[in-house]
Amino acid sequence: MNLILLGAPGSGKGTMAETIVKDYHLVHIATGDIFRYNIKNQTVLGLEAKRYIDAGQLVPDSVTINMVADRLQQDDVKQGFLLDGFPRTLEQAEALAKMLPELGLSLSAVLAIDVPEEQIVERLSGRRVCVDCGTSYHVQSKKPQSDGVCDSCQGEVVQRADDELKTVRERLATYHKQTEPLIAYYTQRGLVQHLDNSGDYASSYAKLAAILRNIK
């Protein structure tokens, strides 16, 4: 299977990606990992990306697209892949649509993770994390035994800047503007499978398994 995973921040996309990659033996192609690899190994594309990053500028689509194209040419991709974080825009989706046939590849499906927006806001704005060991908490579902103190290491438990309510709303607005149109784009091509991830992990996993059983 060759899959794309789409989902808003806080939709549980990361957990689903880990599950799919592990249980279905797919290669996880995440844009963050690709960037780190290329920059660390000082590839031509990595050096180009670093120039933009060091200047405080956004890395152009062309660089990101070329990094993904390079990754898709590697041998391990033949066992099947999960694209996570790419494409993010319609322009990237069009580039991928051109790229895949040239590489002898095709998409099996696009998994769109669905969670009501207010539930996402509640999930993210309620998250807390230990500054020392990274243990995660939630103000409703997983509070530390002592307010503001980590159960594991007694470090300080805080709210990350990314999880502040205003920032969460901004992140979701960016997703709706840039990435959500991809769902319509791939729906028109008959590739979208919706996964309701608003419930508990077990029910979501059962739905995921049912979806993937029917994908060729």
CA distances from 32 to 68, 74, 172, 186, 196 (A): 11, 17, 19, 23, 25
**160 in catalytic set:** yes
Per DSSP, 179 falls in state I
Choose, from 88, 143, 169, 207, the residue flagged as catalytic.
88
Position 141 pLDDT exceeds 70? yes
Q: Over the stretch 159-191, which tens digit does the pLDDT of each residue have?
A: 999 899 999 999 999 999 988 999 999 999 999
189 catalytically annotated: no
Please give the average per-residue pLDDT across 91-116, as a whole number: 96
pLDDT band at 216 (very low <50, low <70, confident <90, very high): low
Report the C-alpha gap between 182 and 8 in whole angstroms. 12
50, 143, 169, 171: which one is catalytic?
A: 171
Q: Does residue 213 have an active-site annotation?
A: no
What does the pLDDT average to over 29-46? 92
Band of residue 38 on the pLDDT scale cut at 50, 70, 90: very high
pLDDT for res 179? 87
* 48 contacts 102 by C-beta, under 8 angstroms: no
| CB-CB contact of 60 with 52 (8 Å) | yes
From 51, 98, 160, 189, the catalytic residue? 160
Contacts of 179 (CB under 8 A, 6+ apart): 6, 8, 88, 89
Please identify which of the residues 71, 123, 127, 128 carries the catalytic annotation. Answer: 127
Query: pLDDT-derived band of residue 46, with 50, 70 and 90 as boundaries?
Result: very high
Q: For residues 8-12, give the mean pLDDT.
A: 91
* Band of pLDDT at residue 101, cut at 50, 70 and 90: very high
Point out the catalytic residue in the list 13, 71, 123, 128.
Answer: 13
